[in-house]
Amino acid sequence: MEEFPLRKFCLVLLLCLSTAAIAGSAKQIYAYKLKTIDGEPTTLAPYKGKVLLLVNVASACGYTPQYAALESVYEKYKDRGLVIVGIPANNFANQESGTEAEIKTFCNRKYHVTFPMMSKVSVKGDDETPLYRYLTDKSANPTIGGDIKWNFTKFLIARNGSPITRFEPATKPDSPEVISAIEAALK
């Protein structure tokens, strides 16, 4: 019987731990408690098996016109399994100061938003919502972690719930790099 070298053992152990960590984080993404824009308690669990694009949005920001591109991308890819989730936050220059009803009305009237919208949360600071604490945690997500710098930061989540990549606010939702990442995730 061949001896199992320590190096092979370590590689197998590392692979097993990495797989377990990915599976654990995938389950975790669906457990975070949120509220819909209408105030109903929810989680991301209804979107299991879908590709998610989570976006911290604001109604009075220079990037607010990205709502139009978000809606366009959602309409184009929703039948293939993409769900865009708008998550309002008022962390930057008071650019989302309205109530949930005001946010919903604004999004519907100005941008005809049909993708799911959540109630307002905090995406940084002492009151940061647990979902964003997880997404920005560099130890849990070394490739996408880091503080949210402004409104319209986009997190792409795989069908299995694992974070794939992050796009900063200036990257438009219909830019080639976002579209390419979405199409790869949908395959």
% of the chain exceeding 90 in pLDDT? 84
Look at 2 and 47; give whichever has higher pLDDT.
Answer: 47
1 inside domain: no
Per residue in 54-82, pLDDT (tens digit) is: 999 999 999 999 999 999 999 999 999 99
176 inside domain: yes
If one counts the domains in the chain, the total is 1
* Amino acid, res. 24: G
Q: Is the pLDDT of residue 153 over 50?
A: yes
pLDDT at res. 3: 54
Q: pLDDT band at residue 27, thresholds of 50, 70 and 90? A: low
Report the predicted TM-score, pTM, of the whole model to 2 decimal places. Answer: 0.85
Cβ count near 67 (within 10 Å): 23
| CATH code (residue 131) | 3.40.30.10
Look at 27 and 86; give whichever has higher pLDDT.
Answer: 86
The gap from C-alpha 48 to its chain's centroid, in whole angstroms, comes to 13
- Whether 61 is a known active-site residue: answer yes
pLDDT at res. 35: 97
Candidate list 10, 16, 61, 107, residue with the active-site label: 61
2 inside domain: no
- Give the range of the structural domain holding residue 11, as residue numbers without chain letter: 7-186
Residue in this structure with the two tokens 């509220």, named with its chain if needed? 35
Per-residue pLDDT averaged across 149-157, rounded?
98
- Whole-Å CA distances, 21 to 18, 50, 166: 5, 20, 19
Q: Is the pLDDT of residue 88 over 80?
A: yes
Q: Is the pLDDT of residue 115 over 80?
A: yes
166 inside domain: yes
85 inside domain: yes
In angstroms, the CA 151 to CA 114 distance is 19
In angstroms, the CA 124 to CA 133 distance is 8
CA atoms within 13 A on the CB side of 18: 7
163 inside domain: yes
* Cβ atoms of residues 151 and 61 within 8 Å: yes
Residue in this structure with the two tokens 């920001």, named with its chain if needed? 61
83 inside domain: yes
In angstroms, the CA 156 to CA 166 distance is 6
* Amino acid, res. 14: L
